[in-house]
Structure 1
Amino acid sequence: MSLLLLDLDDTVLDRSAVVRRWARRFFGAEISPPDLGRLLDMDAGAKIEHDEMARQLKERYPVASSVDDVSVALGEALRGGLEIDATVWTSLTTARERGWSTVIVTNGAVDTQERKIRASGLDRVVDAWVVSEAAGVWKPDPVIFQEAAERAGQPLTRGWMVGDNPHSDIAGACNAGIPSVWLHHGRTWPAELDFAPTGTAGHCAEAIMAIVGERPASGTG
């Protein structure tokens, strides 16, 4: 194997942690999983009305700030916090040194996702990226994985996929016929799914080093 395919949000970049920290600071409260999911969808470029989301957040998490102030603060939060964890940076550098081609494969809007890739410095340590809006297909469609392999100049059959989303990342890897590592983030694999990752890991760096170091990631149990 010599092709490493990586999801972006909550895989290489820990966007959930950024949004949670902002909510705790701004609202003084933990944000609910449904609201977190919608905010992360916005962060990936989903067409959710910004002001409407700010209004809903203000209703659910009472704060003296106006809806406009919440909207501005929300925009700043979603644009910020783009630093890559040092261990992830090191693992990506190690993968490159060991001859692996690394490609980000992400669903979302081109402008939004490319901004995050460049602002975080990922463009300096990966070989390429494919964003669904530009590709015209979304994970779990295997076509987007094939395009990623072509951009890296590698056959898809030599690839691994790392991601946190069972329905896009891991299902996509299964559809593409390649092995995968699921970042569980403390979750249990959904028992109702009729597919599973090749292995699991708690952190992106752990998954990358397991793959490029030729040490298998933990089994799915």
Structure 2
Amino acid sequence: MIRAAIFDLDGTLLNRDESVKMFIDRQYDRLIAQIGHISKEKYMTRFIELDSRGYVWKDKVYQQLVEEFECTAITWEELLQDYISEFKNHCIPFPHLIDMLEELKRNDLLLGMITNGYGQFQMDNILALGVEKYFDLILVSEWEGIKKPDPQIFNKALEKLNVTASESIFIGDHPVNDVLGAQKVGMKGVWKKDFQWGNVDADYIVDDLVELPLIIEKLNKQYSESY
């Protein structure tokens, strides 16, 4: 019986690719007096390349940008601070996010979230999406001192939710950090399809979050039929 659904954040609930595009477009406009010697297209393209879909922290990204584009009117620290304070204003959810969470809550599921990243930054983004009230548990790697795919962070979530691995599913976009990490502790791993990866060995694959309640219903039906 599935009692808990635990989610990743970036690329799963938060459409990070689109959020980054909107943020960097508006950062350029905000700071055009300092960085206007670069074309917007070049600035956006290079940021997205260096960001590597969030796997490179922005101190490195902005240091590289300032050096490459010979920025003298603004420091990388100022650009980083702008990112930290402004990114939350550009958070775009995936379609059907709230509907899906509300349906799971109506079905009495416990909901958790495990996200790698910096604590306050990730919490600001979660608050911006307006989803914190649906979650019984949120673990952010910086605050926990461990990160996915370390089994400890998955086990900590299960322990705090008071459920077993076999009673839980994990939904994420990263084949190793999310799907395999969850499977290794005995959870069902659901892959939120992402164009970056080819075939992923997941228990289930979803294109859209709206599919998730049906998967849980199917699993629970299988469970009840086997007992």
TM-score range, shorter chain: 0.7 to 0.9
What is the root-mean-square deviation of aligned Cα atoms in Å? 3.1
Per the TM alignment, residue 160 of structure 1 is displaced from its structure 2 partner at its CA by: 0.7
Distance 2:25 2:121 in 1: 24
Distance 2:49 2:143 in 1: 27
Matched, 1:98 2:111: no
Give the fraction of aligned pairs with identical amino acids, expressed as a percent.
20
Give the corresponding residue for 1:149. 158
Distance 2:116 2:175 in 1: 14
Give the corresponding residue for 1:115. 124
> Cα 1:75–1:133, aligned 2, differ >3 Å: closer, same or farther?
closer
TM-superposition CA deviations, 1:31-76 (whole Å, max 9, x none): 36632326x246xxx47347415415x63xx9x9944598265445
Matched, 1:31 2:23: no
Give the corresponding residue for 1:48. 59
Report if the CA contact (8 A) 1:200-1:207 is conserved: no
The alignment partner of 2:153 has SS state of: helix
- The total of aligned residue pairs comes to 203
Distance 1:180 1:7 in 2: 11
Report if the CA contact (8 A) 2:23-2:90 is conserved: no
Bigger relative CO (Cα 8 Å, ≥ 6 apart): 2
TM-superposition CA deviations, 1:89-113 (whole Å, max 9, x none): 1101110110111100111122222
Task: Name the one with the larger helix percent.
Answer: 2
Task: Give the gaps of 5 or more residues in structure 2.
Answer: 29-39, 221-227
Task: Give the gaps of 5 or more residues in structure 1.
Answer: 217-221
Distance 1:210 1:168 in 2: 24
Residue among 198, 205, 209 paired with 2:203:
198
Report if the CA contact (8 A) 1:108-1:131 is conserved: yes
Pairs within 5 Å for 1:70-219: 71=79, 74-75=83-84, 77-85=86-94, 87-189=96-198, 196-203=201-208, 205-214=209-218
